[in-house]
Structures are given as structure tokens and as C-alpha cells.
């Protein structure tokens, strides 16, 4: 527990330093160090620092935000597993889980449809050079369950396929969602 507190304080402070470096210098950012600190367990501190000091989402910081957010969720699941919050036996019975949680299935169907539609509307707006849907909105829809709809829309409509925060970010979001789903199926409630 002490390690997690220290690494998250380090993540918090390092992101604050990184934010200052981005504002006042052309180079010298410490993104690689932040990635390592995030992977070592400091993602909560980084996310808190983002929420306090750097809430403005921009194209330049979008990939790091997607990465840190996904890592945070995965680390929370790992923390819960290490603390013993899981069932006595592990299961991969996805169909049984979804059969028992029909509201979750309905939510996932709706959010994936909405995400696909949002990508489609953004693609049409891009072609017609009209007002676009914000990147953070598309990523948030994907993050909160619509990643399959987002991925299908990306490649079916050939939209956002050159942006790493989508081509790498959405599959990373999907991995995070699979980890979360697997944990939910095997959690000791």
C-alpha cells in the first residue's frame, strides 16, 4: 500500500511538471517517464493531476489520456484481485453472465449503436466540411462501452484510421473492457 501511495504521488507530481514543461518549453517533456510511472502503478496520481491541472483535451495529449485511463481501470481491477475480491472459481461463461444481466446487454447494444452513429455523423460532417463531433466525445463513447461500434465504424466508414488515439486507443479500450468484463464475471459480490 505504501508503494502505491508513493508511486501515485510521483505520478501526480511528474504530470504537473510535464504540464509546466509543455506550457513553457518547446521540448523537454517527460512523456516516456510518465508512461513508465503509469505502468508501475501511478496512473491514479496522473489522472488526478490531469483533472486538477490540465482538463483541456487536445489532439496532442489525447493518446496519453486514453492510455492512462485504460491503465487505471486495469490497475483497479488488479488491485481488487490482489486484495482477494474475486469468486472462488473462475469462469469464462460469457453467455451465462450476459443472460443474467440483460440490462447490461441492452446498454452495450445501445451505446455501440450510438457510437457507430456518432462516428458516421462525424464522417459526413468531415466530408461536408461542417461542424464536427469532438474527438473526446467519440473516445468517451468508446470508453464507456461503445468500443466495438467505434472500431467497426472506423474501418467500415474509413474514418479516423490515421489517428493513433483511435487506431491504438480503441483497441486498448477494448482490452480494458475485456479485463473489466472478466473481472465482473468473476467478482465476489
pLDDT tens figures, 143-161: 999 999 999 999 999 989 8
Percent of residues, the chain, with pLDDT higher than 70: 97
The average confidence (pLDDT) of the chain is 90
Judge contact between 109 and 116, C-beta under 8 A. no
Query: What is the average per-residue pLDDT within 156-181?
Result: 92
Give the pLDDT confidence score for residue 28 in this predicted structure.
58
Q: Left, alpha or beta for 71 (phi > 0: left; psi -120 to 50: alpha)?
A: alpha
Render pLDDT for 100-132 as a digit per residue (tens, 0 to 9).
Answer: 999 999 999 999 999 999 999 999 999 999 999
| Residues 63, 136: Cα–Cα separation, whole Å | 11
End-to-end CA distance of the chain: 23
CA atoms within 13 A on the CB side of 126: 13
Amino acid at each position: 500500500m505504501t508503494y502505491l501511495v508513493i508511486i501515485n504521488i510521483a505520478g501526480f507530481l511528474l504530470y504537473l511538471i510535464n504540464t509546466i514543461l509543455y506550457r513553457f518549453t518547446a521540448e523537454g517533456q517527460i512523456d516516456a517517464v510518465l508512461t513508465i510511472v503509469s505502468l508501475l502503478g501511478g496512473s491514479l496520481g496522473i489522472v488526478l493531476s490531469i483533472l486538477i491541472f490540465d482538463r483541456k483535451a487536445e489532439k496532442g495529449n489525447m493518446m496519453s489520456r486514453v492510455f492512462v485511463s485504460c491503465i487505471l481501470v486495469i490497475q483497479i481491477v488488479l488491485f481488487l484481485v490482489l486484495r482477494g475480491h474475486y469468486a472462488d472459481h473462475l469462469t469464462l461463461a460469457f453467455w451465462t453472465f450476459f443472460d443474467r444481466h440483460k440490462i447490461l446487454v441492452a446498454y452495450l447494444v445501445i451505446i455501440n449503436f450510438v457510437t457507430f452513429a456518432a462516428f458516421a455523423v462525424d464522417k459526413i460532417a468531415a466530408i461536408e466540411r461542417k461542424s464536427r463531433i469532438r474527438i473526446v466525445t467519440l473516445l468517451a463513447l468508446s470508453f464507456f462501452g461503445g468500443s466495438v461500434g467505434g472500431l467497426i465504424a472506423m474501418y467500415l466508414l474509413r474514418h479516423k484510421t490515421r489517428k493513433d488515439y483511435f487506431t491504438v486507443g480503441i483497441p486498448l479500450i477494448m482490452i480494458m473492457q475485456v479485463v473489466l468484463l472478466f473481472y465482473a464475471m468473476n467478482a465476489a459480490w
